[in-house]
Chain A
Amino acid sequence: MDEYYDPYAVLGLDRTATLDEIKQAYFALVREHPPERDPEAFKHIRAAYDRLRTPDVRIETDMLLLQVWPAPTRLRRLGSLDLTVHREDIIAAARAFSDLERTDFREDFREVTL
């Protein structure tokens, strides 16, 4: 088991649980899975508890838990379609047929004689 698994999930707790709630959940689970009867489950529960039992340890645990990006609650529509004919586009199209769009005017160059 690595340090990135979620011990809150093992103890059936919310991540905002208090230390008292963590303790209570742990003891309840240990009663359900005593070490002599269910050693593997107990080991798992104990490991989870050990990662939450003190404030210092809990900070590390919390910081190594994957977070869930909160889904947006209010999804706003973007602006409506603009279906008008724009003067700028007409000009841009017209300019496309003119010298304004050209870049090579070498035929306009003249030789220099002195």
Chain B
Amino acid sequence: MSKPKRKSKKHKRPAPVTRPQPTPPSAAQALKQQGLKAFRAGRLIEAIHHWEGGIRADPGLARALAEAYFRRALGYSTPPDQRLADLRRAVQLAADDPRYQYHLALTLHRRGDLAGALKAYQAALARDPKRRGAAFTAALAALESNPRADLRDLPGLTDQDRRALAPLAALLGGEPAAGSEANRPSGLNGLLSHFTQSTASSETLWQGLALLARGEAATARRTLVTGSGTRLPPRAEAVRRYYAGVAAAQTGDLEKAAAEWQQAQVAGLDTPWLRNNLGAIYSEQALAQARAGDWSAASSTAIKALEVIPGNATLTEIAVTGLDHRAHVAVAAGDWETAAAHWSEARELLSAATGVGSSRPILQNLAIACEHLKRWEAAAEAWRVLLRTRPRKKSGDGPPDAQWAWVRKRVITDYRHAGRPDQAVAIFRQAIKSDPDDLDARLQLVEALLANDQEGAAQNELWRILERDPKHVEALLRLASLHMERGEWYAAEQQLRKVLQQEPQHETARGQMARALIERGRSHHRSGLLANARQAFQQALTYTPDDYYAYIDLGRVDLDADRFDDAREDFERAFALAPDKLDAYGQIFRCWVIEKDMGEARKILTRAETNAQLTPDFYIHAGLDCLVQGVAPPPPGLFGPARPQPKRPDPWHDFGIELLDRAIALRPGDVGVYQHIVSDLLAPNRMTFRPDLALPYARRLVEIAPDDPGVWWTLGLVQGLNNQVSEAKETLRRGAQLARRQGNRELERNIMETRQRVGDPLFSLAFTLGPLLGAFDLDER
């Protein structure tokens, strides 16, 4: 007989045909034949469909239809409920066929419906009392239902069978078996021999169990071990091994017990008591190792135990402690690969357990290890999981907000390293999809969107957070920052005010508010709205009273408003806050220079020299500030060199040169000082573009560093800008020669390029437009 063919598609029963319409004879015949064809081809669903359609017209189809249901019920992939329904229908269609009754009984028996199973067994045995195995299985159902069941009326059960079932009934009923029967065949064995070739093994199994139940552990152990090596059905063998282990444990041999229980598990036994016993033995061993400080061994044992009792909190803690310990040892040996593997395993164990400590340390370590190994995506993932451990409500548990913000940024940075900035966006979007009210995830999405250059989407997300929680401090601060980055100072102020209404002392909000006000004040100042500017700076000072820059800004406004006394007072306050800050002296010096008050400027300079350690840079900047106030520099020569500066008294020019000389006097032989002066005097986009003033400094550069081809290049350039064409060409030739001798081919090429351009009528124009054209970058030298 052929095995029913399995179909890959799901079994779909056609709609039940409860009240079929009468089928014409010719159609019924067609259905009958189509069903038969399908049945023979193993297409049982189709066969059932056709025959169910034709059975009203042709009741003779009942047996064929019952067989189709029966075969489908016994298919390997038939779901249990479907199997039961099919067998019931087969019995309904052919109640006198004992096969259908018997299989219905088996199905009910397997499902635990012992009463239903017994009824069906009896019906089957009533029609076929000699069916092989049916009497035993029926008797088993009866004993499962009631260990003291009267089996006398069970059809097909012989006296020999009844005797054979006696030890099983005794075991199930909790009655000790009579006498030690290890060495003589039991009645049960006679019955079991119908189903297995082995006789001794089945007998020893029941015998061993009976002895164990009676408390004779040593004898039971010997009996059950005798059963090894003989063939038992897999499930029975697993049970034998388990109870051999129980007997070993009862006699104090826990090692042997563990070995037997492991084998029972391998053989497919999976009962709560097997898991409990294996877990107890492993955990006892792991605890002993942990108490002895051998965390490495303890974790290995605990991991083995967790395979049996997954998620156990004590074992997980032992395992994770050991894995973490081993990972740290690996890191100390420089083996980050092994460390990452241990932390990864620890993370998995923690995620499967409840009631254990926080997973944060392990996640943090894993992320660090992955970064070390440049596994950026894995690192980002670990940081992201760490983020998920942030408590929803503020509590003392866990790192402070700033650390969470750092982690958020790190997730994004690592995804960027992995070349996947979009991944962070996708992940946070997914998190929001599953929980739209998770404002933390929304804030993380904001950061990810900003990192992915999606500023508009980030702003929309911030508004979505504020729709749900209009007082969300972090969202308000982030929105304010976005406004500030775009120069929308007033809009930023509005968001910051909302934060400060809730938390008046919020340090970040106060700092940002002061910055927004200062920027707004400067904007008013540039537009000539002096009163508004003054008000903005004064407001800024209410948030950051120690901000000396705000006082300097205020002083500038007061100078422009001719409120000189107020300005002096503002500057004094700035000095009081920053008595030794060079930049404060520099800014205030510039204010008086712009005001063209040389007396006040000199006073500030003297004060700076007294109170602070002045640098060449300070003098250079101050000198250039003065030069800007001098006679207007000549316009860059569009079609030729700069015009010579007319000779006339100019105190600001003289003061500027005096300050540049003081810069040099601080470090007389320092090439850097001269280079700074020359490059500032040649800066094309500044008011101080003065190649004529740069010339003596460039000459001095060559005297100090004659072996540096770069300084020859500088001098040649300055000479060229001063229309000293032949000198420039000679200087540049020497510079190129030096560069060649030193093996710097690129520099030689650049110098020669400049040499070719010197003398060109457009040379000065090309230089001043240099930064735009990408040429003459002074920093290149």
Please report A residues at the B interface, Cβ cutoff 8 Å: 4, 55-56, 59-60, 62-64, 66-72, 75-101, 103-112, 114
Contact = CB atoms under 8 A, between A and B. Distances in A.
B362 A69 contact: yes
30 contacts: A64-B368, A66-B331, A66-B364, A71-B321, A72-B314, A72-B317, A75-B314, A77-B287, A78-B283, A78-B284, A78-B315, A79-B276, A80-B280, A81-B277, A85-B212, A86-B271, A90-B239, A94-B140, A95-B235, A97-B192, A97-B195, A97-B233, A98-B133, A98-B140, A99-B137, A103-B76, A104-B3, A108-B70, A108-B74, A109-B4
A114 B361 contact: no
Contacts of A86: 271, 273
Given A67-B360, A94-B140, A82 B276 contact: yes
Contacts of A75: 287, 290-291, 314, 317-318
Contact of A108 (B99, B312, B406): B99
A76 B368 contact: no
Interface SS of chain A: loop
A97 B196 contact: yes
B522 interface: no
A91 B172 contact: yes
Contacts of A77: 283-284, 287
B232 interface: yes
Interface of B: 1-4, 32, 36, 39, 60-61, 63-64, 67-68, 70-71, 74, 76, 99, 103, 106, 109-110, 133-134, 136-137, 140, 144, 168, 171-172, 192, 195-196, 202, 205, 209, 212-213, 232-236, 239-240, 242-243, 246, 249-250, 271, 273, 276-277, 279-281, 283-284, 287, 290-291, 295, 309, 312, 314-315, 317-318, 320-321, 324, 328, 331, 346, 357, 360-362, 364-365, 368, 372, 402-403, 406-407, 410
A85 B202 CA distance: 17
Given A75-B290, A97-B233, A98-B136, A109 B328 contact: no
A70 B365 CA distance: 13
Contact of B239 (A68, A89, A100): A89
A96 B235 contact: yes
Contacts of A87: 172
Contacts of A82: 273, 276-277
B67 A99 contact: no
- The 4 A-B residue pairs with the shortest CB-CB distance, nearest first, are A67-B361, A96-B235, A69-B324, A96-B233
Contacts of A67: 360-362, 364-365
Nearest to A112: B64
Contacts of B280: 78-81
Given A66-B368, A100-B109, A105-B103, 18 more contacts: A59-B406, A68-B361, A69-B357, A71-B295, A75-B290, A75-B317, A81-B277, A86-B273, A89-B209, A91-B140, A98-B140, A99-B137, A106-B2, A110-B99, A112-B39, A112-B64, A114-B36, A114-B61
Contacts of A95: 140, 235
A36 B312 CA distance: 58
A60 to B, nearest CB: 6
Contacts of B168: 90, 94
B243 A63 contact: no
A106 B239 contact: no
Contacts of A97: 136, 192, 195-196, 202, 233, 236
A12 to B, nearest CB: 19
Contacts of B2: 106
A106 B109 CA distance: 20
Contacts of A92: 235-236, 239
Contacts of B281: 81
Contacts of A104: 3
Contacts of B324: 68-69
B364 A63 contact: yes
Contact of A60 (B171, B314, B331, B406): B406
Contacts of B364: 63, 66-67
B368 A4 contact: yes
Nearest to A82: B273
With most chain B CB atoms within 10 A of its CB, the pick from A60, A66, A78 is A78
B209 A90 contact: yes
Contacts of A108: 70, 74, 99, 103
A89 B357 contact: no
From A82, A87, A101, name the one whose CB has the most chain B CB atoms within 10 angstroms: A82
A76 B99 contact: no
B268 to A, nearest CB: 10
Nearest to B277: A81
Contact of B365 (A56, A66, A105): A66
Nearest to B233: A96
Given A101-B233, A114-B32, A114-B60, A89 B314 contact: no
Name the residue in B134, B273, B360 with the highest tally of chain A Cβ atoms < 10 Å from its Cβ. Answer: B273
A100 B110 contact: yes
